Every structure is written in structure tokens, then in C-alpha cells.
Amino acid sequence: VTLWLKKIYGNQPIPQYEVNARTVDILYELAECNEARDRDVSLLIEDMKQKAAEYEAEANYLQGLLAESLDLSLSSLSSEGTSYLNVLVNSAMTLETKDTSLTSFFCAINDMTSELYATESKNREMELELSNIRKKLTAALMLEKQLEEDLKKTEELMEVEKAKADSRSQNMKFLKDKSEDLKIRIKAAEEQLAATGLDQSLTHESLVSLSQ
């Protein structure tokens, strides 16, 4: 840990810290992580240097090939020729071809065309499915609206029927109370007539029977 801290701070003094098992463990883990990251960065730098060397060697080879076969160099190309060359390179990179031959370009274009047709076909299927979903959604919304209207009408009808039922119930209660009152009054009248010694042959029922 001490060696690592000296390496980190260099000529600067190491800050004071409490030395115990916990702080040493933490610093040791930090040292391991730092060294592992340094190793990874070093490997990455070496890899990039190697690739750069390979690219440079390939560029020198191609430049020598152009100079030997066509007596051309990048410095001898006109601005229009350089523009065409850049377009060719960018097209090859966009199409991800292995080289700039016509065969590679045609194969890449055919592959992209096939992908385009497949994508367009998939889009048409999705548009058709979306259209069907919209139709179903519209029908569902119309049905929901109709159900809401029917429910509203049913609730209004129920309110009317409830009002009628309440009115009938009140009338029935009135008639029932009236009937009970009349029974009580009839009974009282009969008791009063019986107390006065009314002859039963003079009752309405007896007179009707006698008339018949």
C-alpha cells in the first residue's frame, strides 16, 4: 500500500491517515483496482498502436500499388479525383464491404435492397394490423357510447318506476290505514247498536235477504 501511495503522489508528501486494518484493506483494494485498470489501459494502448501500424502498412502498400501500376499518388490526384476517392471510401464504409470492387458493392446493395423490401413488407403488415385495430377500437367506442345511452335511459326509467312504486306504496298504506279505521268504526257502531238493543232482522243483510 505504501509503495502504491508513493507511486500515486510521486514527489508530493503522502497525506496523513489513520493506519488500521480497515483503512489498509480499503487502500489495498483501491491499489488493486488502480493497477488492474492501468494494465487494461496499457493493453488497449498497445492494441491501438498495433492497429495503427497495420493500417499504416496497408495504406503504404496500397499507395505503392497505385504508384507502380497506375503511376498515381494521393498528392498527384486532382481535387475532383480526391472527391471521387472519398465518396468511394465512404460508400464502402457505409455498405460495410470488404473492399471497393464492383462485386462487393453489388452484393452489399442487393443485401440492403432485400432488407429494404423486407422492412417495407413488415411496415405494410403493421399498417394493416394498425388499421384493423383502429376499426375495432372505433366499434368498441361506439358500442360503449350506445351502452352508456342505454344505461342512462334504463336509470331514468327506473327512477320513473320507483316514483310510481313509491306512489302505489303510499296509496296502499293510505287504503290499508283507511280500511283499519273503517273496521274499527264498524265494530264500534255494531257494539253501539247492540247496546241499544237493535233487532237483527233490521240489519241491512237481513233486509236484503227478506227482500229477495
Query: Is it the case that residue 74 has pLDDT exceeding 70?
Result: no
Q: State residue 198's pLDDT score.
A: 67
Question: What is the overall mean pLDDT for the chain?
Answer: 86
CA–CA separation, 14 vs 8, rounded Å?
9
Confidence class for position 13, pLDDT limits 50, 70, 90: confident
* Average of per-residue pLDDT across 72-91: 76
CA 121 to each of CA 116, 127, 128: distance values in angstroms, whole numbers, following the listed order: 9, 10, 11
With 0.75 as the threshold, say if the pTM is over it. no
CA–CA separation, 90 vs 84, rounded Å?
10
Tens digits of residue pLDDT in 163-193? 999 999 999 999 999 999 999 998 888 788 7
Q: State residue 121's pLDDT score.
A: 93
Query: Is it the case that residue 136 has pLDDT exceeding 90?
Result: yes
Q: State residue 149's pLDDT score.
A: 93
